[in-house]
Chain A
Amino acid sequence: MVPFAGYSMPVQYKDGILTEHLWTRENAGLFDVSHMGQCFVHSDTWEKTARALETLVPADILNLKPGQQRYSQLLAEDGGILDDLMITRSAYEGHEGWAYLVVNAGCKDADYAHIATRLPAGVSLRIEADLALIALQGPKAVEVLAGIVPAIRTVPFMTYHYAEVDGVHLHISRSGYTGEDGVEISIPAKAVEAFCTRLLGDARVKPIGLGARDSLRLEAGLCLYGHDIDTTTSPIEADLNWSIQKRRREEGGFPGAARIQRELKDGPSRLRVGILPEGRQPAREGTEVFVDGWKIGIITSGGFGPSQNGPVAMGYVETAFAKVDTPVTLVVRGKELPAKIVAMPFIPHRYFR
């Protein structure tokens, strides 16, 4: 167990990170992510709620369909990233004006304060402190859940589904942070232990700790807040352009829009890229990246990829050196280690679309 964002969290269960990681890629891994922040932003109409959120994030919220989910970032005035988050439009009758947000544990108090002070009259923030959040990830995850909630089979990636099981309300989204198919389930805290016990009763399911959660998302090329993105990085530098839809790029109207539009037009000065070290030695966070003796970047996440069966890393390099196959040199523990820039993800995504 280790301290993590004010919570005591398991780095691994008894099988260890390597086995847990590979199990998730082959079967189904159960993650307790209840430390993450869950909240609602709501008003009497979707347009009012969406317009309010669009003053905080660069994604197109207005055109989300009921039940649709999008990844975005809370931005600072200078375009730096305060946090990354998931935003879902409610599909509930009577809750047409509601958006469900999931934010990072380490940022949630600051996020809530940031959001609450910027919402216009008539739009409110509701923080959910009594909801647990679990993720069931892997190629067998949906089949496992379908034993309890059959309708989940046909729910596409980044879409939400509501179910009631034994009187317990489950808010399920077909999403996750491993690169695998799977779901995240929001469930009242008092019901979560029994539900997890039920899932773990299935031989295809094992509990997975923070260690494998990190190696899975790294192989999937996904950012970890506080490491790969923070207040010093813009979404364009972080190569998250795909998360800013066309209308928002053109219209702006979000914090840091001038910088982001300029970076979209002229290119950012640095870019988040995949970095593949040669050989077996992992290059970890903080490792400096060189070309011809010049420091051109730094690794922000790096380690051993169990599915890659070798070291994997991501980090920022000057844009001139960001092209795939560019040879670079890493300095690991005082020794030079050859590496190259590669496209991410390291392990192909297997989402259900």
Chain B
Amino acid sequence: MIKALPTVLATLLAHYRRHPGQLAMLLLGLWVASALWSGIQAINATARDSYARADALFDTRLDQLERRDGAPLTRADYHALRQAGLPVSPMLEGEVVTQDGTKLTLIGIDPLTLSSDNPLAQADTSASLTHFLTPPWQTRVAPDTLAALGIKRENAPGATPRLANGKTLPPLILTPALPPNTLLMDIAAAAQLLANSEAPASGEQITRIVTAAGALSEPPVGLTLTRASSPASPGQLTESFHLNLTALGLLALVVGLFIVQAALGLALEQRLGMLRTLRVLGVSGRSLIVALSIELLLLGLIGALAGIASGVWLARRLLPDVAATLGSLYGAGVGQELNLPWHYWAGGLAVSFAGLLLAGGGVLWRAAHLNLLELGQMQAWRNGYHRQLTFMGIGGALVLSIAFALYSWLHVQPPGDGLVAGFGLIAALLLASALWLPPFLAMVIKGLTHLARRRPLIHWALADMQLQLPRLSLAMMALLVALATNLGVSSMVGGFRLTFLDWLDQRLVAPLYLNAPSTQYDDIDAWLAERPEVSERLLTRRSESTLLAINSPSNSPSNNASNSPSESRSTTLLVELYGITPGASLTPHWPLLATIKDRPSAWAAFDEGAVFVNEQLATAEGLSPGDRLTLSAPNGNITVLLAALYPDYGNPSGQVLMASHQLAARFQAPANSMGVVVHDNANVDALRDALTTRFGLSSDALSNQGEIKRIATEIFERTFTITRALNVLTLAVAALALLATLLAQARSRRQQLAPLWALGVPRAQLAWLNLAQLGGAALLTGLLAIPLGIVITWGLVAIINVAAFGWRLPLYVFPWEIALTLATAVSVALLAAAIPALRFWRASPRALLSEEAHQ
């Protein structure tokens, strides 16, 4: 029998020679699905590798010392600290621009003091260290930074690339463990590269003084110590981003497998006769299954390989955007060069095969249980379709109850938790809706059939729809899922965009923003106070503190009168302190989410020393207005009233907002920036020039509101390029699934329509009928996708976002998006139906008659 296997296989495959379209569909489905999936996995793998490298650095976190007065640290400060016995090390950081315009981070270190691990210990002699320390020095760089330097990997070691400013880098040494876009060198070399006309003595001032985490129990006099642990780990944030990507990829895979399933089902059905003949000829059922499995594997191999190759291509196209997004959102450096471990390839193949087996399993099972004696039945699928619908209904109900359970569980979770459960909830909702779609469609058709009793043609059309439903349902399910997700994601992105831009407008009220050395602010403030055109000076300050305790008054307002017990708990959370000037131009616009009483009283309390906290912190610690917070301060702990919550999109850290003058008095926080509000018609440019000249400010010390907005918007737009691209691709795959299904059954459709034509119905009318049938089904699916899409949007903004970022977005619904979604659904269906309809229209009467003969 084994000998017959090649013959059997050849016979089976011969089917595709006669139906190349089916083969193309199968391969297309596999290809698209695995391309999207593996593309996303490739992006994730590369990004994770980049984090792993950055994390290796995070492992050896450093505490940081800064001067309390905000003035820059100098070399002499550093030497004085060393001579006081503190194990500190200097670090110089800056940006250099490559010739292609890429900005790279330059870090200068002193290897002699940086680590307690002995740098000389392993090398026995100081030769390699000497090369690092002495001219021409060395540039340590990861291979994925080379592209930005315009250098090929094989030429990299020892190369001295030129920067945009004409300076050359010290000879390169490849250090794959470094994060991307980072150049590491001796501090002396870095000082020379960073020296420019504005800072000729670069290196006399240093960016930071660091020390091993925990090496100092308290900061030296005049300095502040910032501990390495950060309130929100970028790992968590980026993880949610990747989960997002993975979910989209998985969706693409599922939708792609719908196509495969449809095409495989058809291919089997059309070969039932052939299979039966083979069995009658003596081929055993087992050989048949083996042959079919080999066919599946072959198809799978071709599809998956093509898919992975395209996935890598796709990833290369998207990676720069992903890298930019992660870089600007979370500060996580991601290499722009794909970095794929071997298991990536194996994993891609495995997932594609698993999907194929899932999709083809049913087909194999049916082939194995072939009834030899049963005559060929074109509607094999329809057998037991009612039972199948019942199963779908029950399955949908089950999945929905899982979704409900997840929701209830999430409800009792502390806010900010349950990212995975959030995604699970959305997936369950999608699946339940998909499962319920066919029973729903069947029900609607049945109802309509009942109504159209007296209109025979429509009655026929509906009955015919019922007949088509088993085969169409999979494609419609795919369409529903894709449409709903598309709607959900695009509403979320759109809502985010609106909120973010609004929020920027509210926050950026001054036309001019000043970033000067912190020692200069007092003078500048005094000078600006004299200027007639300046109406307000909005000084900001920054510092850090530890949230030590939270004291919540009893929740029920009714026992206000009685001395209600309050609930107190302690924490050790590091928070940002941000000081703003609550001026007349700022307070009316500054968005607040919740207050104790109302906005005016919140701002009044704020001016007198109450604080606001951002939504992230409130969510994470369960704070609400009226609570009292105890913060660590240089002169002992301070307890303040929490007066309001405010949105703070994009900030990974918990933030406590207080009036600038309060922050200065209580925390000795240095000035950070100043917004300069001017009267209408004032000449901003003249003021800018006067300020620059008077105080000798550098060119980038003053920025325009418009400029800041432009940069912020740019970062934002980049963030969602990927989401949008993947979204469109997913929808395209769903459209393909529908098209594949309809094309596959075009021939059988002709068999259904030919008798009607023979009965005297004009061909044009039949063609239109055909279009109306599918268009109607798609419209129905599209209409269903709208509420589902809104529910998904809600899940994204109210559950996923809160879990991932700590802030909730307002739920926006965009009617235009909804109309577009509906239009997409209908036009995809019409397009898919148009080709068979057109073919039917054009078919010669002879051909139609011959169909009739076959019937």
A interacts with B: no
On B, residues with C-beta under 8 Å from A are none
Q: Report A's interface with B, CB cutoff 8 A.
A: none
